[in-house]
Amino acid sequence: MRVGLVAVVTVAALVVSGCTHTQTPVPTPSTVSLGPGADGIGDSLYPSAGNGGYDVGNYDLDVRYDPASKVLTGTAVISATATANLTAFDLDLHGLTVASATIDGADAKPSRHADELVLTPASRLPIGRQFHVTVKYSGVPVPYTDPSMGIDGFLATPDGATAIGEPEVAASWYPVNDHPRDKATYTIKITAPDGLQVFSNGVRTGSEPAGGGLSTTTWSVTSPMASYLATMVIGHYRVLEGTADGKPVLSGIDARLPATIDAQIRRTPEIVGYLATQFGPYPFDAMGGIVIDDDRVHFALENQTRPIYSNAFFRGGGDATVVIAHELAHQWYGDSVSVNSWVDIWLNEGFATYAEWLWTAHQGGPTVEATFDDTYDNTSAAVWQSPPGNPSKRELFGYSVYYRGAMTLEALRIKVGDDAFFRIIQDWAKQRAFGNGDTQQFITLAEHDSGQQLDAFFHTWLFGTTKPLRPTR
Ligand code: TRP
Ligand code: ZN
């Protein structure tokens, strides 16, 4: 689903579908044969991420994982719509071996080219055509090792596995249009040995024996999800279950970790409730969190409905609710409203960091004003030279994106006042729910909701390379 492009696609579809109804057997190349879908969706920082020429509506994933052999075996059924006339198109797939691929039941002649799985339909898919791709695949998943990101991807653990990474993870365990601009709903079926716990996104809709010492759980993700937010976690976990506001709450804590962590994870609905008072209604139909015990993972990730936390946040028994608030804030900013391009990442991380400041103040800690002042005073010169609105690939998850991003929001609040500020961030969550947004669209909304001209303001805070003047309250 690509909410932002609906209007454009509809117009193009009308024009070209006229051609498909003519009797001419060989359409003129200028109107029809756009050739293969591009091998990237057009992201400046990740040129081969995602693909052109189609829009996925739903992924139906049926995967089996064997922790002993580390082999993943899957069948992916992908429902998509052609957004160009396709003689061939790509899915992203990192490692793994494709046994077969069909489009609407006919052989799709799969071939591989780096991290692209190239498919060729038996006959051209005209723009607007809905189609189903079925890919059968297997292998030992290969993680990504980008030096600036650490290890990402489908990570085998001694007793199971964790799929975690951003931006790169999805294609290491399923064939995918791997970019947040093409969000889709999911059904995820996971088969694993009995006695292990399994987690994924959304609502768990089934759990049943699969024979041969295996069990299958089924997960339903009914709100469109960006591909990097899909996860599967397998291992020995303590399971915490309940409901909040009539929605299922389901969390897991690696069984080796101290039980004191459980009390903090149990605060998830309370923290969601607080954030809803600031951002508007919680967007999804389920919630929870997963704490993993894997020394290769030092961060937390905002997986849709069920963030994953490194156990590092819980060491020493201190308060970890700030990171929980960060990942839960991403449910609004990042997951429901997703970036249009990776360069827009401050819209995720700046907002989630600002939510940390709100939560800290709410808990009786320093006020947001004090945290801003402290951050403003102690931010190094290098950060003021690094604009959060236009990060390099290496700086995508750097200090500027998180902290200068959050400072930008507090500076905006000071400039437009509390009422306009909360209207802006709530409207952003509401108007773009389950879709995408970019920085320019945020600026346009901020100007609309405040009635102020804000180009110069945002230029200074997001794109400038010198320290902005201290905002006056
Ligand atoms: N988005 C994560 C956060 O909440 C940070 C992150 C970026 C990350 N890349 C990752 C976490 C890879 C785990 C793995 O701030
Ligand atoms: Zn974050």
Q: Is 328 in the pocket of ligand 1 (CB under 6 A)?
A: no
Average confidence score pLDDT of the chain: 92
- For range 383-388, the mean pLDDT: 97
Ligand nearest the Cα atom of residue 397: 1
pLDDT digits (tens, 9 = 90+) for 225-268: 999 999 999 999 999 999 999 999 999 999 999 999 999 999 99
Nearest atom, ligand 1, residue 150 CA:
12
Pocket test for ligand 1, best of 301, 345, 400 (most atoms within 8 A of CB): 301
25 has a pLDDT exceeding 90 = no
Which pLDDT belongs to residue 149? 77
What per-residue confidence (pLDDT) applies to 473?
86
More confident residue, 30 or 454: 454
- Residue 297 reports pLDDT greater than 90: yes
Whether 299 lines ligand 1, by a CB cut-off of 6 Å, is yes
The Å distance, Cα 403 to ligand 1 centre, comes to: 15
Which atom of ligand 1 is the closest one to the Cα of 310? Answer: 13
301 ligand 1 Cβ < 6 A: yes
Q: Is 166 in the pocket of ligand 1 (CB under 6 A)?
A: yes
What is the percentage of the chain residues whose pLDDT exceeds 90? 90
User: Where does the pLDDT of residue 35 fall: very low under 50, low under 70, confident under 90, or very high at 90 and above?
Assistant: low
- In ligand 1, the atom with minimum distance to the C-alpha of 167 is 9
The confidence score (pLDDT) of residue 114 equals 93
Q: Is the CB of 302 under 6 A from ligand 1?
A: yes
Tell me what pLDDT residue 28 has.
35
Q: Tell how far the Cα of 258 is from the centroid of ligand 1, in angstroms.
A: 23
pTM: predicted TM-score of the whole model, two decimal places = 0.92
Lowest model confidence (mean pLDDT) among 39-53, 346-360, 412-426 = 39-53
Does any ligand 1 atom lie closer than 6 A to the CB of residue 152?
Answer: yes
> Does residue 24 have a pLDDT over 50?
no
Q: What is the pLDDT of residue 174?
A: 98
Query: Once rounded to an integer, what is the mean pLDDT over residues 192-218?
Result: 97
Query: What digits encode the pLDDT tens for the residues 67-117?
Result: 999 999 999 999 999 999 999 999 999 999 999 999 999 999 999 999 999
Best mutation site among 145, 299, 309, 346 for ligand 1 pocket (most ligand atoms within 8 Å of CB): 299
Q: pLDDT tens digits for 362-379? A: 999 999 999 999 999 999
Task: Give the Å distance between the CA of 398 and the centre of ligand 1.
Answer: 11
Residues 303-357: tens digit of each pLDDT: 999 999 999 999 988 899 999 999 999 999 999 999 999 999 999 999 999 999 9
**What does the pLDDT read at residue 19?**
34
Model pLDDT, residue 461: 98
pLDDT of residue 318: 83
Q: Is the pLDDT assigned to residue 13 strictly greater than 60?
A: no
150 pLDDT band (50/70/90 cuts)?
confident
Whether the pLDDT of residue 15 is over 70: the answer is no
Whether residue 169 has its Cβ less than 6 Å from ligand 1: no
Q: What does the pLDDT read at residue 1?
A: 57
How many angstroms is it from 301 CA to the middle of ligand 1? 5
CB of 55 sitting under 6 A from ligand 1:
no
Which residues touch 122 (CB under 8 Å, ≥6 apart)? 103, 106, 107, 108
SS3 for the chain is CCHHHHHHHHHHHHHHHHHHCCCCCCCCCCCCCCCCCCCCCCCCCCCCCCCCCEEEEEEEEEEEEECCCCEEEEEEEEEEEECCCECCEEEECCCCEEEEEEECCEECCCEEECCEEEECCCCCECCCCEEEEEEEEEECCCCEEECCCEEEEEEEECCEEEEECCCCCHHHCCCECCCCCCCEEEEEEEEEECCCEEECCCEEEEEEEEECCEEEEEEEEEEEECHHHCCCEEECEEEEEEEECCEEEEEEEECCCCCHHHHHHCCHHHHHHHHHHHHCCCCCCCECCEEECCCCCCCEECCCCCCEEEHHHHHHHCCCHHHHHHHHHHHHECCCEEECCHHHCHHHHHHHHHHHHHHHHHCCCCCHHHHHHHHHHHCCHHHHCCCCCCCCCCCCCCHHHHHHHHHHHHHHHHHHCHHHHHHHHHHHHHHCCCEEECHHHHHHHHHHHHCCCCHHHHHHHHHCCCCCCCCCC
